[in-house]
Structure 1
Amino acid sequence: MTTTPELTDTERRTFIRYTRTQRWPLLQRFPVPDDLHDELLAQMIGWPAPTVRAVAAELARQARDTATEMLTDQHFRALLEALPFRPQDRVVAVGDSITADRVGWFELLAAALPAHSTVNLGVSGNTTADVLERFDLLEAARPGHVLLMLGTNDVRTHGRTTGYRMATSPEFERNLRALIDLITSLGATVTAITPPVVDQSRADATFADAPVRWHAADIADIAAITRKVAPACLDLHTATRAEDPDVFLEADGVHPSAAGQRRILTLIAEHLSTGPR
């Protein structure tokens, strides 16, 4: 196996943290054994497959340990007990890397609710259009309650000199309305969630030499559209504007840190347990 010199070990771990090939649409429609997924990741980042498995297992343990720690808090336990999920509900999360994160909010929720059936359909880089394209996979998951957090990649801007968003505001609104309508047509409950804030200075520094950009104003635009389309949504964007970026976000200014993911789960649990405020 050849090495990949352009990646540091930290970058490899980060890639594993956010990449779940089992959830890639093609490989969901045409599944392969788990060991081949490990080998695929290994080939992509230039690490042995056993190392990939070890890092994935370490991240899974981290998520379980964090959930166990959170459950020691009486307020958090009370929130979970008040969640509106019915025993027969399959709770499905749909989103991008913020949801796909192996130590992210939904993995923490799943670890804290072992008696519930949970499915993480987060795929890094996904836009609302991507989720529409793979809606057959969401339908196949037979959801009872869908937690829908999208938008960060809809406003991802491509181009080094002239930038174009992945989706215009009207396109995002159309896609979000379509997704909510399609999910509702399955007989499932849907909770729309706006994406959290980004830190512009960090994002600018991280992506200064990259052909992609994120703009805080665009995230605010998406959040406003989500509030318009789904007035009962969880406005995570507003709820996280006052968070300390040094604590809440990773160095890239876009992805929540492990602490940020804990905060997101708490906000989601509060919203689901008490209703919109």
Structure 2
Amino acid sequence: METGVNALTDPDRRQFLRYTRTERWPMLERHPIAGTVHRDLLAGMLAISREQVARGLEALQTEASRAVTDLLGDTRARAAIQGLPFSAGDRVVAVGDSITADRLGWFETLTAAAGPAGLDQISLINLGLSGNTTADVLERFDLLEAARPTRVLMMLGTNDARRHGRRTGHRMVTGEETERNLRVLTGLVTGDLEAELTLITPPPVDGPVSAAYFAGLPLTWDAEAVADIAAAVRSIDPGCVDLYAEMESHGLEGLLESDGVHPTPAGQQFILSAVLRHLTTVRPASEAGAAVS
């Protein structure tokens, strides 16, 4: 059986380009390189030409643009974006894993829609990075600080629940460490950076679908662990965006890709709708203060 980059199909390459943002790799963000080199990196990893990479990224951008057009064509969605509690000069930073890094993702859609909706005096910065755990985000906190956020939207935990190994299935980050990391990040964002923080629970994982998709690999996602992490987020901030509960209530059909982990484009729009509803709902000051104490 052919393995490695030569075994990749066009859909495989599309998925790789969709989630891989080399410009956000910590070493390359701390020591920036020319934009053209990022195309060369992607081309080398996929064993295709830079021109093929460009065409692949352009196709993803076209799909993303259609999502933005549809979003702005929805009167309620457009009004929700216009009603976001952002002020001129705000720097809104998203922190997360591949669900946030996704070129077809919820934050990319929000970023592209903000200007046409009239929010052209704010900056939206995507620090989502595929594969990140809560520990990884702590390690690159300097990069979050460098972004100078006034508000942080943080959705983490899915990769903490990833398990490696064929027999023992060691979890990437223990439940206790995940909660500790989230509490530390909460303190750093609200204390050191003096930024507003919106915590978002990770979305559910479809355990059976994920297990079937990754069968044969020493890798799987622990659906129960994701549920526990969502509960930990709620304990840290009872007023968080409870994406886990909303998706569970709605039903996962059509919202997750074939791996049972990553949201489909429709799932990403579901996430954005949940975040918009939350941000445009006024919370009492006492509740907001208690949430991060």
Q: Could you say which residue in structure 1 is the equivalent of 2:194?
A: 187
Residue 270 (structure 2) pairs with residue 256 (structure 1): no
Residue 181 (structure 2) pairs with residue 175 (structure 1): yes
Distance in 2, matches of 1:138 and 1:261, equals: 23
Q: How does 1:127-166 map to 2 (within 5 A)?
A: 127-166=133-172
Give CA deviations for 1:151-185 in whole Å, capped at 9, x if unaligned.
00011111111011111111011100111111112
Distance in 2, matches of 1:77 and 1:261, equals: 16
The number of equivalent residue pairs is 275
Distance in 1, matches of 2:258 and 2:127, equals: 25
Report the TM-score when normalising by structure 2: 0.91
Distance in 1, matches of 2:231 and 2:283, equals: 16
Moved >6 Å (runs of 4+): none
Residue 87 (structure 2) pairs with residue 86 (structure 1): yes
**SS of corresponding position for 1:179:** helix
**SS of corresponding position for 2:254:** helix
Q: Could you say which residue in structure 2 is the equivalent of 1:25?
A: 26
Q: Could you say which residue in structure 2 is the equivalent of 1:72?
A: 73
Question: Cα distance 1:223–1:152, how it changes in 2: closer, same or farther (>3 A)?
Answer: same
CA RMSD of aligned residues (A): 1.4
Q: How does 1:1-277 map to 2 (within 5 A)?
A: 4-114=5-115, 115=120, 116-184=122-190, 185-275=192-282
Q: Could you say which residue in structure 1 is the equivalent of 2:287?
A: none
Report the TM-score when normalising by structure 1: 0.96
Distance in 2, matches of 1:198 and 1:4, equals: 27
- How big is the shift at 1:240? 0.3
Identical columns (%): 52
- AA paired with 1:4? V
**SS of corresponding position for 1:102:** coil
Distance in 2, matches of 1:169 and 1:275, equals: 31
- How big is the shift at 1:244? 4.1
- How big is the shift at 1:276? 6.3
Distance in 1, matches of 2:165 and 2:283, equals: 38
After TM superposition, the structure 1 stretch with the greater mean CA deviation from structure 2, 80-89 or 8-17, is 80-89
Structure 1: state its 5+ residue gaps.
Answer: none
- How big is the shift at 1:209? 1.0
Distance in 1, matches of 2:275 and 2:159, equals: 20
